Amino acid sequence: MGVKISGVERHSPAAKAGLQVGETLLQIDSNEIEDVLDYRFYMTAERLTLLIQSPDGEKRRVRIRKGEYEDLGLDFETYLMDEQRSCRNKCVFCFIDQMPPGMRETLYFKDDDARMSFLYGNYITLTNLSEHDIERTIRMKISPINISVHTTNPELRCRMMNNRFAGKALDIMQRLANAGIAMNAQLVLCPGLNDGEELKRSLRDLLKLAPTLKTISCVPVGLTKYRDNLYPLRPYTKDEAAATIDLIDSFGDQALEAFGDRICYASDEFYLLAGRKLPAPAFYGDFNQLENGVGMLTLQRQQFEMALEDFEPDDKPRSLSVVTGLAAAPQIKELVSLAEKRWPGLHCTVYPVVNDFFGHNITVAGLITGRDMIAQLKGKDLGERLLFPDVMLRFHTDVFLDDITQSQIEDELGVPMVPVQADDGYELLRNMIEEPN
């Protein structure tokens, strides 16, 4: 047990106590330290006693005084302090299994680590949790936990995930609910597999865990063109998408009456597939499921329309363009039209990019690649700058899914590019009418 120290920050409580690189942190106040959750949970007190082991195996206890919640100042080889846990399932709808060969290795890693759920909001299947993990989650009150449920039918869940242990998820969720651990659930819906009557069962079962279960988001399966030898799945038809929305909303109505919150939501993509108008902002409450594409377009429109009143109109000439996926393009065009009416000198062209890389069933902006953008926009009149949603980039980088960088695209297209937060209508308008810094 224990984690090896790879760095000690200067003037930190750990440095003042004489901790050294290469030593191992075994315990904090007699609590064994396995990973980042133990470290963060047990280091908050003002007075601590650490059990440290030197490289030659000698152990010593170190007493530290510091500010409450002040970091000890230790660095470790990895943020998690051990190996990130990969997924043990082979889900029939897994997007990673539908990726083309030859992409960077990290894109093929299937994350299913409960610690990443708490730290970064990742969704997990619970199939990786040991009894120790469950007990620690309850003991530490680690919350919220985001869970990829997909179905509450144990037999169907085992088949969908190709894991004979996958059916235990509902029992684990009940234990977490009993302990007051907040949860969010996600269901990736596949036509004829876990929708219809099976979806009714899942929503009925999950609402029994409310209000500890905070939200349920339902998203349609994403299918690329790389599905050779995989489970036969197909996209939703317009009528099927509409029926699925109606079913989800019926349970949302029940939840609203019982708990004062809809809890159950269909993603924006279902509304786009059904050709339906998106709900008003009040429908989404606090917009708690934006990361799953629930209410993102509604929030963007609301913010954009409010922002129209915050900026003074003028006749200054402006020429620019916006690139996005096919799904969001109709709304972006409507918003651009509103802005052009208020700013007569504004000329903004919206360019929807067809996803040739992953296949034409993929229409979301977050999966647009650099090479598709270059191929379809080269030679176009892009104006003074090109706005694009930041979800196209890897987190905190300027690299697209296919490893092409923003600067490479700028060189190819001959125009500066400006990333804009995808669901932020205010930022979209600001970047349309103001020069970038």
Domain check: are 325 and 356 in the same one? yes
The torsion angles phi and psi of 308, rounded to 5 degrees, stand at -55, -30
What CATH number does the domain containing 55 carry?
2.30.42.10
* Distance, CA of 116 to CA of 119 (rounded, Å): 5
Query: What average pLDDT does the chain have?
Result: 91
3-state secondary structure of 417: strand
Which amino acid would we find at residue 427?
A: E
For residue 85, tell me if it sits in a domain.
no
Per residue in 159-208, pLDDT (tens digit) is 999 999 899 989 999 999 999 999 999 999 999 999 999 999 999 999 99
Same domain, 208 and 349: no
Given a cut of 60, whether residue 290 has pLDDT beyond it is yes
Do residues 146 and 215 both lie within one domain?
A: yes
Range 203-221 average pLDDT: 97
Amino acid at 22: G
> In CATH, what number is assigned to the domain containing residue 214?
3.80.30
Handedness of CA 288, 291, 292, 295 (dihedral sign): positive
- Together in a domain, 375 and 342: yes
Q: What is the pLDDT of residue 106?
A: 62
Domain boundary at 227, 257, 292, which? 292
Of the chain, the percentage scoring pLDDT greater than 70 comes to 94
Same domain (yes/no): 151, 286: yes
Interval 82-111: pLDDT, tens = 665 667 778 899 888 888 877 766 665 566
Q: Based on the domain organization, do 48 and 184 belong to the same domain?
A: no
Cβ–Cβ < 8 Å for 23, 52: yes
Whether 82 is covered by a domain: the verdict is: no
Q: What are the phi and psi torsion angles at 330 (to 5°)?
A: -60, -40
Domain membership of residue 83 (yes or no) is no
d(CA 289, CA 293): 7
The answer to whether residue 80 scores a pLDDT higher than 80 is no
Do 231 and 312 reside in the same domain of the chain? no
Does 84 map to a domain?
no
The DSSP H or E segment spanning 413 is helix 406-413
pLDDT tens sequence across 248-276: 999 999 999 999 999 999 999 999 999 99
Mean pLDDT of 344-349: 96
How many structural domains are present in the chain? 3
pLDDT of residue 117: 59
Q: Residue 119's pLDDT band (boundaries 50, 70, 90)? A: low
- Residue 381: pLDDT over 60: yes
If asked whether residues 286 and 378 sit together in one domain, one would say no
Residues 166 and 17 in one domain: no
In a domain, 89, yes or no: no
- The Cα 299–Cα 347 span in angstroms is 24
In whole angstroms, give the CA distance from residue 216 to residue 151. Answer: 12
Together in a domain, 111 and 70: no
What is the extent of the structural domain holding 55?
A: 3-76
- Name the band, by pLDDT with cuts 50, 70 and 90, for residue 25: very high
pLDDT higher than threshold 80 for residue 49: yes
Residues 351 and 216 grouped into a single domain: no
In 3D, which of 48, 73, 74 has the Cα closest to residue 63?
A: 48
Whether residues 247 and 334 fall in one domain? no
Sheet arrangement for strand 213-220: 145-148, 183-189, 213-220, 264-266
Q: How far apart are CA 152 and CA 206, in angstroms?
A: 8
Fill in the DSSP letter of residue 213.
Answer: E
The residue from 292, 325, 353 where one domain ends is 292
